[in-house]
Chains A and B, each alone.
Chain A
């Protein structure tokens, strides 16, 4: 494995070394505005990649393309060997394998915690109710709030809500988890409980892409850092290298600002 800088984000630096997500030359436009410019990125099986960069640099757009919440206009995206195309079956298959956690949680407010978690396993994977409930309690144990199962999301704290959101994604037994600034909407005292859950998940061998500004977490958990600016991947590297000897000027500036 590389100890020096990684020249391109297309080189895997952690996990098993097999490719799980491959982006080749991906570009994306919103009307005339280019939000992604020829992005190449490969994420290995069980690798944890942390994406950072200034606001508006295209981080969210990047990970939202991976489960087709946004449609890329150019290039190829492969998830676990399946290519994302207009084929609805492919999209469905990929979404079943990719869990996503949002900044604003997006729990379903009209459903209880348990119903939030069992919804997709029952409706998408067609699991029996009892089986789905058992699984739900299992993932709730994992995020350490089994006692909240019958409550509504509105009755929980932010940290608890985000952990439910993680549990909801895990209940689908995804191979990949995408996190889009999962702690940005949280009060400081709740950030740790969510990061702890994510760390445990990373240790269990989940393939993860995490957009976050929590640099402590990144240093500790990431296999690889990816820095984005102006719709491009500017630099990628192992955390040690990335934080100590960033090569690009833009990376240095960014790190100075947030560290």
Chain B
């Protein structure tokens, strides 16, 4: 938060020689806690009992289904299909290689960030992370990978995953040795790593992304969509506030048009009508590209609106102070306004990206086989046909989406906490 009104008072200093009494230590007796919170009144007791019963029943039915009734064979036998679908099996090593590259760059980045954080704490700014914070952060992903491995039941896959994890840890240690002042280059390195992992799969006689499917395609569309739509959305938001009427008009028109149309429509238009917008004679981009364009076009408009809200939240005084110092309008925006605006809207922004991640499931309507489409199609395999295994496959898909979304949401909370330090 930035403030415009009167300033906070000097932090309260304990007068020397005076003992401070902490708050009274509350007993951590579970029975006392339950009595206080769950059974404090008749109404509360009734509520506790009724909802406790409902909850217990639902949990029981759910667990019973998952562990007893459900037939997971369909998932087990199709795990590779669910992950990559028709991706050529002899090229699967590329996906693993990409995972290794990703793990290395992510580990390196996290390690370097840790070092920088340590310096900040030493200098009296920045808060120390809680114990085991990193593990808690990636918990949803670890759970996801665990489930996938159990489903795969393959020793090779398990060993490879362990290798990927070991790589991440090793590179994290390496990243820790990078002095804080070089963090900028590390950030760049991580970006290069992400691009490299894409190239490992596609380049040098690799598999073009039109042959991708399953979770791989879902992840590609989500990551690609986020990475591309974010800068475009920021640009649109700035354009909407531009002092040039033409730019303002174009950006506003674009945002309002896109926001008035359902994503499905945009996907169809991009899949079947994109040709009209391209100069004649250009080759028609592939289906995956067209789907990505639609997702980006859609998300960018929403990102723009979110960012616009952030821009409005930056007090006028900030801009005036920058101007008074002689900063150009461009530098004022880049160095003063945008950083504060983006910080203010992290939760909404990540919410938008979570939406995008889940919305990638819509690309099946233009003929792409991402995770959900694979799940649908495997129920029609001769071995599983007409056995009513929709619940199993849908549950599995839902779990994958939930793990990804929950992870993003937690990262957003953490980022917020971390960036909030200086602005309290």
Contacts and interface: CB of A to CB of B under 8 A. Distances in A.
Interface of A: 67-69, 92, 95-96, 98-100, 102, 104-112, 119-120, 123-124, 150-155, 157-159, 161, 168-169, 172, 185-187, 190
Given A67-B324, A119-B325, A154 B317 contact: no
Please indicate which of the listed interface residues B8, B123, B325, B327 has the most CB atoms of chain A within 10 Å of its own CB.
B325
A82 to B, nearest CB: 13
A150 B124 contact: yes
B10 A112 contact: no
Contacts of B117: none
A109 B313 CA distance: 13
Nearest to B120: A150
A135 to B, nearest CB: 14
Nearest to A96: B326
B11 A154 contact: no
Contacts of B123: 150
Contact of A69 (B2, B318, B324): B324
A110 B327 contact: no
A110 B339 contact: yes
B7 A124 contact: no
Interface stretch (B46-54, B90-98, B187-195, B416-424): B416-424
Contacts of A157: 7-11
B177 interface: no
A110 B317 CA distance: 14
Contact of B325 (A120, A185, A190): A120
Q: Which 9 A-B pairs have the closest CB atoms?
A: A158-B7, A152-B422, A106-B321, A157-B10, A150-B123, A120-B325, A95-B326, A100-B324, A106-B317
Nearest to A152: B422
5 contacts: A67-B324, A107-B321, A108-B322, A152-B125, A185-B5
Dominant secondary structure at the A interface: loop
A69 B325 CA distance: 11
B324 A185 contact: no
B4 interface: yes
A191 to B, nearest CB: 12
A123 B317 contact: no
A168 B325 contact: yes
Interface string B1-22: 0111111111100000000000
Given A102-B317, A108-B336, A151 B325 contact: no
A187 B422 CA distance: 22
A99 B6 CA distance: 22
Nearest to A123: B331
Contacts of A100: 321, 324
B326 A109 contact: no
B323 interface: yes
A196 to B, nearest CB: 17
A159 B6 CA distance: 11
B423 A123 contact: no
Interface string B302-332: 0000000000000101101111111110010
Interface string B383-424: 000000000000000000000000000000000000101111
